Homo-oligomer: A and B are copies of this chain.
């Protein structure tokens, strides 16, 4: 709450011209809105408790890197389109920007967002709630590029390869490897899969994947390959490091676990305020706020419990539904009574599917989308 307030105050002050640029940059530096999870390579999450708008500001948006940010010379840079295509392509940024661009908001959530809540602790970056954000992306649909290249009949998947590469220690990679991820052809052709050079109305920044980043709406963030350099059309399902040893989960086939790449975001809601351990003032109204999202469907309802799951009441969904984005919500807690209170939110899709209450062990260290209780004290 405090941080949000200060941030708003800062923005108001800055907008009113009451801060010199130097003072403004100092204030921002003092109060970053990102939490460092790994210093190098850079892995920062947004302070989700500051949620106050549908669009997440670029400087707050989470950053998930596997390796050092690659050095790219835009003059040399090309997007190569290869493999099972009629016409292999090598496109400069000028070539891309001559095509018809679109701007649309899309949500990204890291597949490990919420991992800090798992007990016992698991391997991986220990994200709390902020490895998620909604931004406006400007670029062209991947479908437009595939159409230009002419996908051959035998094609089944599209591999997206980034310029970032290195050696992974655990699980061990076979020497240095590039970050790469595949999409089934049918997903790749959907309009929510975009090659973006712009974010929130400005040029995409290097830390978010400039010059070009794939944004795969509806899928966890690992599919949204940054520093994109190659699109490879393949005739067999790709079983790359980042969708087998890493970023995979177990499906059950006749009761037996069968490894599958992580793809669609799962139905989820998160409470931005109160925070874990927050002191909530007794006896006066408190607005519980948060967001809810899902990979392919629409959020139909979010319910709140302040009695450890015994009873649930509907929260108010604010704004309008936007495909492949979150829905913000709020709930008026009329008169909190002193004591320890467990607050929970639970989302339901329009299909009737509700967020699960328990963790599914088959998800390995990913897809943390069960109800996450927030224990607070009212006094």
- The chain A residues found within 8 Å of chain B, CB to CB, are 82-83, 122, 159, 161, 171-175, 177-178, 180, 232, 234, 236, 238-241, 244-245, 248, 250, 253-254, 256-260, 361-362, 364
Which of chain B's residues has its CB closest to A255's CB?
B178
Q: Which of the residues B83, B172, B253 comes within 8 Å of A254, measured between beta carbons?
A: B83
13 further contact pairs, Cβ within 8 A, besides A178-B256, A241-B257: A159-B256, A161-B256, A174-B250, A174-B364, A175-B362, A232-B254, A232-B256, A234-B254, A238-B256, A238-B258, A239-B260, A240-B258, A241-B250
Q: List 21 A-B contacts (CB under 8 A).
A: A82-B254, A83-B254, A159-B254, A159-B256, A161-B256, A172-B364, A174-B250, A174-B362, A175-B361, A175-B362, A177-B257, A178-B256, A180-B256, A234-B253, A236-B253, A238-B253, A239-B259, A240-B259, A244-B248, A245-B245, A245-B259
- Tell whether, in the assembled complex, residue A174 and residue B257 are in contact, meaning their CB atoms are under 8 Å apart: yes
Docked Cα-Cα span, A327 to B259, in Å, equals: 37
CB distance from A154 to the nearest CB of B (A): 14
CB-CB under 8 A from A232, the residues of chain B are 254, 256
CB distance from A89 to the nearest CB of B (A): 16
Which of chain B's residues has its CB closest to A241's CB?
B257
Which of chain B's residues has its CB closest to A257's CB?
B174
CB distance from A130 to the nearest CB of B (A): 26
Which of chain B's residues has its CB closest to A171's CB?
B171
CB distance from A235 to the nearest CB of B (A): 10
**A-B complex: 5 closest residue pairs judged by Cβ atoms:** A244-B259, A239-B259, A239-B258, A174-B362, A174-B250
CB-CB under 8 A from A180, the residues of chain B are 256
CB-CB under 8 A from A234, the residues of chain B are 253-254
Docked Cα-Cα span, A258 to B232, in Å, equals: 13
Docked Cα-Cα span, A248 to B241, in Å, equals: 12
Chain B CB count within 10 A is highest, among A174, A180, A240, for: A174
CB-CB under 8 A from A239, the residues of chain B are 258-260
Which of chain B's residues has its CB closest to A230's CB?
B254
- Tell whether, in the assembled complex, residue A361 and residue B174 are in contact, meaning their CB atoms are under 8 Å apart: yes
Docked Cα-Cα span, A172 to B361, in Å, equals: 10
CB-CB under 8 A from A83, the residues of chain B are 254
Docked Cα-Cα span, A236 to B240, in Å, equals: 19
- Tell whether, in the assembled complex, residue A177 and residue B361 are in contact, meaning their CB atoms are under 8 Å apart: no
CB distance from A367 to the nearest CB of B (A): 12
CB distance from A120 to the nearest CB of B (A): 10
Docked Cα-Cα span, A193 to B145, in Å, equals: 47
